[in-house]
């Protein structure tokens, strides 16, 4: 027997549902029965004509069955019918928004929201897909709908959105289906995040950190589609200012850079570049992109023969924004800001000899304040990367400043560097050793 995780719509629609029994039990009325008899198991052309003629009445019957009948096989069947009619023509989702439902106080969303909690993948997947299509249709008529709702009763649409968003986040965290749960959630979000208030809900619910691990270079066709939809979600979120902080904590930018660096799929590159373009004017994103080496990647991408005009334009705008960021922000100011933050990373300036040659005299400002903080970090930091970069920077100072060794020795840095030479982190141990060697080598050279 086929399990619910393997059910297909076609298999479900082969069933014969005893509609007369439901009328006898007063779960559907005679009008509903008549509509179902005319529609059920009929050719697609006949069903299309019936929906054209009386679509709202059919939606009312379908929603009523889902709200009032609990038998699993029947619920699956009605969901399969609704899914089939919406797949054939997604514009039919607007039938669910008919004003008559509001006038008669019929909640077309609630049955689908309730069905999301069923421990049945077919029911969950179809309910999610149908809800997403209905909500997507509503966004085009949102102003009219909200206006009508405000005149009659408080709008419950926010509650519907929040329930669906919470469920989608739960699927990203712990999918109900091992292979289809996450792709379905991402696909739904790629549609729902077009609605501005959904973006805010998703960010507040910390959904971004669940999307971030999915931003990874992949090769097979299925994963390319998932990557595209994840990147699309990130692009939609990038319109919100509060997304910058969420992106930073989830390490979204470094992941996107890796994707752009390795992907040749135009639709993925386009959405990623448009995301960079959006973020280039928000917070310190442009500066971070520069540190991640994005300017060179953008220049390389501009050499490709892309067919998409939006992508070509986005690359031009992004290229200009990154160049502007480089001009505006002095490299030493960036360096100083990183040192003052107490968290060092291997950004390009640490290893750039041009940076050290051009800025070495600036280390003398405020009685070698920046150098003193680097040395202090050797005592107080517990982060091995920060410690490794600090050792490296002290080495660079010794190499490029005429009196570098003497100043470092006077500030008692040698002993602080030496204690990290036996650290279990190989990169830190290496940088500590190189720094000590530079101190000793400079001492021998000066004799």
Structure tokens at 429: 């141990």
Tokens 């077009």, located at residue: 194
- Helix 221-237 × helix 266-279 angle, to 10°: 20
pLDDT for res 154: 43
Q: Are the C-beta atoms of residues 233 and 273 closer than 8 Å to each other? A: no
3-class DSSP state of 352: coil
Q: What is the pLDDT along the chain (447 residues), one digit of tens a residue?
A: 344 447 999 999 999 999 999 999 999 999 999 999 999 999 999 999 999 999 999 999 999 999 999 999 999 999 999 999 999 999 999 999 998 988 788 899 999 999 999 999 999 999 999 999 999 998 765 544 444 444 334 468 899 999 999 999 999 999 999 999 999 999 999 999 999 999 999 999 999 999 999 999 876 665 889 999 999 999 999 999 999 999 999 999 999 999 999 888 899 999 999 999 999 989 888 888 998 999 999 999 999 889 999 999 999 999 999 988 877 666 788 899 999 999 999 988 898 898 899 889 989 989 999 999 999 999 999 999 999 999 999 999 999 999 999 999 999 999 999 999 999 999 999 999 999 999 998 544 443
Instruction: State CA 318 to chain mean position distance.
Output: 20
Distance CA 93, CA 130 (A): 8
- Helix 221-237 × helix 196-204 angle, to 10°: 100
Q: Are the C-beta atoms of residues 407 and 401 closer than 8 Å to each other? A: yes
The phi-psi region of residue 41 (left if phi > 0; otherwise alpha if psi is between -120 and 50; otherwise beta) is left
What does the DSSP 8-state code read for residue 40? T
- Where b means 16+ CB within 10 Å and e means fewer, 133-148 reads bbbbbbeeeeeebeee
**Burial class (CB within 10 angstroms; exposed 0-12, middle 13-18, buried 19+) of 341:** exposed
CA of 22: how far to CAs of 69, 76, 211, in Å?
Answer: 9, 16, 44
Structure tokens at 207: 């959904």
CA of 355: how far to CAs of 233, 288, 299, 347, 406, in Å?
Answer: 37, 17, 22, 12, 22
pLDDT for res 222: 58
pLDDT for res 105: 83
Instruction: Report all structural domains of the chain as residue ranges with CATH numbers, in order of start.
Output: 7-138+159-171 (no CATH), 206-329 (1.25.10.10), 332-440 (1.25.40.150)
Distance CA 158, CA 200 (A): 12
Residue 189's closest CA among 168, 210, 212?
168
Distance CA 241, CA 283 (A): 8
pLDDT for res 329: 66
Residues 193/194/195/200 CA torsion (nearest 10 deg): 40
């Amino acid at each position: 027997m086929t399990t619910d995780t393997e059910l297909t719509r076609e298999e479900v629609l082969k069933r014969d549902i005893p509609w007369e029994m439901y009328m006898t039990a007063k779960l559907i009325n005679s009008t509903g029965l008549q509509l179902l008899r005319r529609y059920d198991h009929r050719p697609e052309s006949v069903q299309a004509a019936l929906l054209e003629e009386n679509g709202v009445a059919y939606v009312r019957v379908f929603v009523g069955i889902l709200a009032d009948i609990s038998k699993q096989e029947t619920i699956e069947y009605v969901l399969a019918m609704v899914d089939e009619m919406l797949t054939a023509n997604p514009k039919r989702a607007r039938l669910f928004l008919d004003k008559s439902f509001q006038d008669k106080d019929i909640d077309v969303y609630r049955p689908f929201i309730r069905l999301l909690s069923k421990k049945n993948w077919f029911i969950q997947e179809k309910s999610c897909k149908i809800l997403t299509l209905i909500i997507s249709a509503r966004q085009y008529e949102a102003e009219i709908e909200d206006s009508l709702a405000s005149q009659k009763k408080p709008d419950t649409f926010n509650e519907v959105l929040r329930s669906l968003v919470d469920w989608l986040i739960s699927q990203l965290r712990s999918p109900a289906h091992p292979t289809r749960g996450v792709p379905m959630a991402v696909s739904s979000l790629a549609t729902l995040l077009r609605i501005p208030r959904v973006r805010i809900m998703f960010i507040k619910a910390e959904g971004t950190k669940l999307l971030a691990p999915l931003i990874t270079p992949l090769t097979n066709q299925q994963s390319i589609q998932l990557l595209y939809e994840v990147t699309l979600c990130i692009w939609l979120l990038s319109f919100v200012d509060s997304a910058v902080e969420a992106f930073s904590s989830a390490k979204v930018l470094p992941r996107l850079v890796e994707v752009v660096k390795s992907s040749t799929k135009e639709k993925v590159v386009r959405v990623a570049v448009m995301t960079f373009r959006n973020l280039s004017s928000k917070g310190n994103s442009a500066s971070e992109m520069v540190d991640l080496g994005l300017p060179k990647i953008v220049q390389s991408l501009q050499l490709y023969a892309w067919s998409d005009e939006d992508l070509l334009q986005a690359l031009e705008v992004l290229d200009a924004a990154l160049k502007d960021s480089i001009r505006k922000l002095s490299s030493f100011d960036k360096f100083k800001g990183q040192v003052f933050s107490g968290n060092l990373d291997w950004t390009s300036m640490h290893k750039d000899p041009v940076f050290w040659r051009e800025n070495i005299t600036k280390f003398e400002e405020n009685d070698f304040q920046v150098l003193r903080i680097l040395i202090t970090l050797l005592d107080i930091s517990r982060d091995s990367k920060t410690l490794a970069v600090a050792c490296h920077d002290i080495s660079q100072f010794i190499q490029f400043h005429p009196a570098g060794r003497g100043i470092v020795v006077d500030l008692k840095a040698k002993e602080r560097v030496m204690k990290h030479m036996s650290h279990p982190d190989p990169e830190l141990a290496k940088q500590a050793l190189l720094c000590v060697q530079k101190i000793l080598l400079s001492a021998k050279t000066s004799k």
